[in-house]
Chains A and B, each alone.
Chain A
Amino acid sequence: MAMLLGKKVGMTQVYDELGKLVPVTVIQAGPCVVMQVKTAETDGYNAVQVGFDEVKPLRRKNPQIGHAQKADTTAKKFVKEMRLPDDAEQQHKVGDSITVSVFAENEFVDVIGTSKGKGFAGVMKRHGFSGFPASHGTERKHRAPGSISSFASDAGHGGGPKRGKKMAGHMGNRRVTTKNHKLVAIDEEKNLLVVKGPVPGPAGGYCIVRSAKKAGVEQKA
């Protein structure tokens, strides 16, 4: 189980060995610094805290700068924890650097990012409802959700919409995981990971790359 923090660079295409054009996302990943090592004895669980991306010290608060100094490094912009199994031996030491070499080519990875915010979106955009006809007498409700409940929809408890009813609301800007991206290429010199298919978030957005949790079928892209 390997994990790395990164930044989405953008998308492009490459040819694979069969001569097929493959859509890929380029992620600038690592080098990540181990900021803190948590063990079952001291913290109750095993984990490694890693940091990525330089930031001006004046943009961080003093506790964060002090925390980073313990690892003999500077405060980082993006800090996350990698949980390890409780019985696992700690291989990382504070101050260690983790690079893209933790992954191998043709391996499968999951990418976790924050999706692009779409603002307050209606049901057609947010949940794929079909809406109403454009004409044939339809007035002022072309993109409306339709009926959301009836008095009898929750029999015995009075009327009202059921819990979890799909409605309009804020869309995007939430944590999204895309699974089983094939690692098409790794550039150790430039710290780049090239994964097949699109990953959540805008170019320049932060993301977490980890080994695929469920080794499954390759994601269609």
Chain B
Amino acid sequence: MKTEMLDAVESKSLKKKIPHFEIGDIVDVHCLIKEGDKERKQVFTGTVIARKGRGINETFTVRRIVNNEGVERIFPLHSPNVLDIRPVRSGKARRAKLYFLRERTGKAVKLAHRHSGHTISK
């Protein structure tokens, strides 16, 4: 009864449809950036290395290498500022959290390509 009522409140903030993506995928995350009154869209591309949390607290972590420096961004899955998540390439991952990628540099950060139906080719 208690969770039922909490879910009813939470569910209004949840997104109806979440694009399907998997751990190891390279994704384009389209996010809305607000600067004062201006709004613009920014795309963050990288590998999904983790997905955690439940319900409104669900988040996913995207890692990419910028100027030889690893950059990770944690996105709340249901945030209205995360406009779209587009998987572009599927990577072979045998575990749910790819934190071992943090130790790797250069070519080793690339995951083996996995042929999967859910990605969209550029």
Binding site for B on A (CB under 8 A): 9-10, 12-15, 18-19, 21, 24, 26, 28, 185, 187, 190, 192, 194, 203-204
Contacts and interface: CB of A to CB of B under 8 A. Distances in A.
Q: Name, among B8, B9, B57, B76, the residue most crowded by chain A CB atoms within 10 Å (CB to CB).
A: B9
B57 A19 contact: no
Consensus secondary structure, chain B interface: helix
Contacts of A204: 2
A28 B5 CA distance: 8
15 contacts: A10-B2, A10-B6, A12-B6, A13-B13, A13-B56, A14-B10, A19-B80, A19-B81, A21-B56, A21-B79, A185-B12, A187-B9, A192-B5, A203-B2, A204-B2
Interface in B9-60: 9-10, 12-13, 32, 34, 56-57
Consensus secondary structure, chain A interface: strand
A192 B8 contact: yes
B72 to A, nearest CB: 20
Contacts of A28: 5
A104 B79 CA distance: 26
A19 B9 contact: no
Interface residues of B, number: 17
B118 interface: no
Interface of B: 2, 5-6, 8-10, 12-13, 32, 34, 56-57, 76, 78-81
A64 B34 CA distance: 58
A108 B34 CA distance: 27
A205 to B, nearest CB: 12
B36 to A, nearest CB: 13
Contacts of B12: 14, 185
A14 B5 contact: no
A190 B9 CA distance: 10
Nearest to A9: B5
A14 B2 contact: no
B6 A9 contact: yes
Across the A-B interface, the 6 shortest Cβ-Cβ residue pairs? A19-B80, A14-B13, A19-B81, A15-B13, A9-B5, A12-B6
Contacts of B2: 9-10, 203-204
A190 B8 contact: yes
B6 A14 contact: no
A192 B12 CA distance: 13
A190 to B, nearest CB: 6
Q: Name, among B5, B10, B32, B76, the residue most crowded by chain A CB atoms within 10 Å (CB to CB).
A: B5
Contact of A26 (B6, B57, B80): B6
Contacts of A194: 9
Nearest to B78: A15
B10 A21 contact: no
A28 B6 CA distance: 10
Contacts of B80: 15, 19
Q: Name, among A10, A12, A28, A190, the residue most crowded by chain B CB atoms within 10 Å (CB to CB).
A: A12
